[in-house]
C-alpha cells in the first residue's frame, strides 16, 4: 500500500497525488440496529449531474474542477487526500469540485506524526462559494475512507478540518460519506476506547463565526471521537447521518453569536454513538425532523447554551435520556435559557425520558406535545422530570403523554418548577401519574388512557438523515 508519507517523498508535481474512487456500503435506514460491518456492493454507473444546455458534459464545464485533474484515479489503496485537498484549494468561488464515482474508495492516509488532518482547508485559500460534490446521492457513494492504523492514536486527528481563519460564505459539501475506520470492538471515547479521530471539524479561529457552511446528503461514520464538531456559528446539516462515533454524533459548540441560530439541523439522524447523539454545548441551535437511536449518553444541552429548539424528534433506546439539561459549571451561563421541545417522542430510554432542570440559570421552556414510553427510570423520579428554576409559559396548552414508567411516576415537578399543560394522558406508571414536591403542575384535562403510539407524528429512521429526500 502506498502511504501518504511515501507519496510526499516521491512527489515532483502537485502535492501528494493519489487515486480517486469510492466505496459503496449499505446504510439504507430501514431499521437502525447495530451492525458490526456494513455490507458493500459494486458501483453501478449513473449520472446525477447531466449535460449543460449546450450539450457539454458536466465534468467539461468551465466551472467544474475534477479531482482527477489533480492526479486522483482511485483504487482504494493509494492515498487520495493530497489530490482532493489540492483540488479544493485550487477552486474559485462559483466552482464545483467534482468527485466522480469509481469502483473503490478515496483513501485518506496519514503520516502518523500526530495532530494531522487528512483534508486540511481554510488556511491557504478562501473557500467561499465552493461546492464539493460527490456524483451520486446515495449511501456509501464517494466514500472518503481513512486508512486504518495510519494516524497516531495518541493524538487528535481529523478526516476533514476547516480552519476558520476567515468567514466562509456559500461553502457546500454534498453527497459524501466519511468513514473513520474505527477499530472493531473499540470502546467509548474517554472510557476505555480510542478517541483520536474526528470526522468533521470546524475549528474556532479569527473569523469569529457568521459562516454559511452546509453539509447536505452526507454520512459520517466509524470515527473514534465525534462525527461532526462545529466551533463557530453558521453551519447547517441537511439530510445528514452520524453513525457509530466513539464520542458524539453532532457536537455544535459555537460560543459566538454572529449567526442565530448558530447551528441548524434539518433531517438529521444520529445512531449507535458512544457519547451523545446530539451534544449542544454553546450558543444556539435549531433542530427539526430528528431521529436518534441507541446513543450511550442520550441527547443533551449544556449550561452555556442560550437557546435550543427541537421540533419533531423521535428518540429510540437512547441510553440515558431522550433530552436532558446538563448544568455542571458557572462560567458563561446566561441568565435565562430558552428551550423549545415540541412534538417529541422518547421510547425506551434507560434513565428517564426528558429532564429539564436549571442550575445557576433559569430555564424558560416551550414544552408542547411530548410523549414518553417505557422507561426504566434509574436514578430519577419519573418519565419526565421538571425542576430547579424551570417553567413553561403561563397558559395551559399542548399535550403530554407518559406510558409505562417503571420505578417512578409519570411526571415529577419539584424545586419550585412550574409546568402548565393543556392535556395530560398517563397510563401504567408505577408510582402514579405525577409527583409534585415543592413544584407546580397545572393542566386543563387529565386522563388515565393510552392514546396510542406516536400521536404527534415524529419521524422514523428511514425518513430522515442522509440520502432520504430531496434538497431545497
Same domain, 286 and 382: no
Q: What is the Cα gyration radius of the chain?
A: 23
Q: Which residues contact 44 (CB under 8 A, 6 or more apart)?
A: none
Spatial separation of the C-alpha atoms in residues 17 and 351, rounded to whole Å:
50
Same domain, 290 and 384: no
Query: Quick check: is 313 in a domain?
Result: no
Q: Which residues contact 63 (CB under 8 A, 6 or more apart)?
A: 94, 95, 96
Same domain, 93 and 218: yes
The three grid cell numbers given for residue 102, joined into one nine-digit string:
469509481
Same domain, 267 and 349: no
Query: Quick check: is 239 in a domain?
Result: yes
Is the preceding omega at residue 261 within 30 degrees of 0, hence cis? yes
- The label of the residue with cell 435506514 reads 29
Cα end-to-end span (Å), the chain = 41
Which of 266, 297, 328 is where one domain is finished?
Answer: 297
Same domain, 26 and 156: yes
The three grid cell numbers given for residue 83, joined into one nine-digit string:
489530490
pLDDT score for 360: 78
Task: Determine the structural domain holding residue 375 and report its residue range.
Answer: 336-472
Q: Which residues contact 384 (CB under 8 A, 6 or more apart)?
A: 352, 353, 354, 355, 370, 372, 400, 402, 410, 411, 412
The three grid cell numbers given for residue 37, joined into one nine-digit string:
460491518
Same domain, 184 and 48: yes
Same domain, 128 and 266: yes
Q: Phi, psi at residue 4, to the nearest 5°?
A: -60, -40
Same domain, 292 and 341: no
- Of the candidates 212, 124, 208, the residue with the CA atom closest to the CA atom of residue 164: 208
Query: Quick check: is 321 in a domain?
Result: no
Same domain, 340 and 286: no
pLDDT score for 13: 31
Spatial separation of the C-alpha atoms in residues 291 and 265, rounded to whole Å:
11
pLDDT score for 329: 63
Query: Quick check: is 265 in a domain?
Result: yes
- Overall domain count for the chain: 2
Spatial separation of the C-alpha atoms in residues 272 and 152, rounded to whole Å:
25
- Of the candidates 264, 306, 308, 324, the residue with the CA atom closest to the CA atom of residue 289: 264
pTM greater than 0.85: yes
Cα separation values, 2 from 24, 111, 147, Å: 22, 11, 11
Spatial separation of the C-alpha atoms in residues 246 and 367, rounded to whole Å:
31
Spatial separation of the C-alpha atoms in residues 218 and 227, rounded to whole Å:
11
Same domain, 48 and 147: yes
Stretches where the chain sits below pLDDT 50 are 1-55
Query: Quick check: is 303 in a domain?
Result: no
Query: Quick check: is 318 in a domain?
Result: no
pLDDT score for 472: 56
Q: By the 8 A CB rule, do 361 and 391 touch?
A: no
Query: Quick check: is 369 in a domain?
Result: yes
Same domain, 29 and 159: yes
Same domain, 342 and 292: no
Which of 297, 328, 349 is where one domain is finished?
Answer: 297
Query: Quick check: is 465 in a domain?
Result: yes
Amino acid at each position: 500500500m502506498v502511504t501518504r508519507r511515501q507519496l510526499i517523498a516521491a512527489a515532483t508535481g502537485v502535492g501528494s497525488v493519489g487515486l480517486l474512487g469510492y466505496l459503496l456500503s449499505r446504510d439504507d435506514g430501514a431499521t437502525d440496529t447495530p451492525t458490526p460491518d456494513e455490507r458493500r456492493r459494486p458501483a453501478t454507473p449513473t449520472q446525477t449531474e447531466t449535460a449543460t444546455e449546450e450539450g457539454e458534459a458536466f465534468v467539461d464545464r468551465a466551472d467544474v474542477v475534477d479531482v482527477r485533474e489533480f492526479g486522483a484515479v482511485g483504487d482504494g489503496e493509494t492515498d487520495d487526500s493530497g489530490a482532493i485537498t489540492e483540488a479544493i484549494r485550487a477552486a474559485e468561488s462559483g466552482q464545483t469540485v467534482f468527485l466522480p464515482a469509481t469502483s473503490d474508495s478515496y483513501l485518506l492516509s496519514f503520516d502518523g506524526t500526530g495532530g494531522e488532518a487528512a483534508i486540511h482547508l481554510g488556511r491557504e485559500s478562501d473557500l467561499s462559494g465552493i461546492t464539493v460534490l460527490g456524483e451520486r446521492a446515495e449511501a456509501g457513494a464517494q466514500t472518503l475512507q481513512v486508512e486504518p492504523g495510519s494516524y497516531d492514536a495518541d493524538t487528535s486527528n481529523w478526516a476533514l478540518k476547516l480552519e476558520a481563519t476567515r468567514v466562509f460564505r456559500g461553502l457546500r459539501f454534498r453527497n459524501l460519506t466519511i468513514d473513520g475506520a474505527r477499530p472493531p470492538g473499540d470502546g467509548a471515547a474517554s472510557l476505555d476506547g480510542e478517541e483520536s479521530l474526528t470526522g468533521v471539524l470546524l475549528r474556532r479561529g479569527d473569523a469569529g463565526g457568521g459562516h454559511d457552511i452546509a453539509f447536505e446528503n452526507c454520512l459520517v461514520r466509524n470515527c473514534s471521537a465525534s462525527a461532526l464538531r462545529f466551533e463557530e456559528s453558521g453551519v447547517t446539516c441537511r439530510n445528514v447521518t452520524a453513525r457509530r462515533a466513539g464520542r458524539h454524533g453532532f457536537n455544535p459548540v459555537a460560543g459566538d453569536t454572529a449567526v442565530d441560530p448558530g447551528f441548524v439541523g434539518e433531517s438529521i439522524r444520529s445512531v449507535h454513538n458512544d457519547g451523545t447523539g446530539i451534544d449542544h454545548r454553546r450558543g444556539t441551535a435549531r433542530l427539526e425532523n430528528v431521529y436518534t437511536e441507541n446513543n450511550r449518553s442520550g441527547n443533551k444541552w449544556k449550561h452555556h447554551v442560550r437557546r435550543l429548539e427541537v421540533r419533531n424528534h423521535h428518540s429510540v433506546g437512547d441510553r440515558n435520556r431522550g433530552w436532558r439539561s446538563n448544568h455542571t459549571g458557572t462560567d458563561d451561563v446566561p441568565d435565562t435559557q430558552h428551550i423549545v421541545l415540541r412534538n417529541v417522542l422518547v421510547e425506551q430510554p434507560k434513565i428517564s425520558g426528558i429532564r429539564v432542570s436549571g442550575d445557576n440559570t433559569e430555564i424558560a421552556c416551550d414544552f408542547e406535545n411530548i410523549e414518553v414510553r417505557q422507561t426504566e427510570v434509574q436514578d430519577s423520579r419519573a418519565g419526565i422530570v421538571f425542576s430547579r428554576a424551570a417553567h413553561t409559559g403561563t397558559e395551559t396548552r399542548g399535550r403530554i403523554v407518559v406510558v409505562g414508567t417503571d420505578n417512578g411516576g409519570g411526571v415529577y415537578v419539584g424545586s419550585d418548577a412550574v409546568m402548565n399543560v393543556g392535556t395530560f394522558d398517563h397510563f401504567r406508571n408505577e408510582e402514579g401519574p405525577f409527583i409534585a414536591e415543592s413544584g407546580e403542575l397545572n393542566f386543563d384535562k387529565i386522563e388515565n388512557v393510552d392514546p396510542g403510539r406516536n400521536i404527534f407524528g415524529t419521524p422514523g429512521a428511514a425518513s430522515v438523515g442522509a440520502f432520504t429526500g430531496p434538497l431545497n
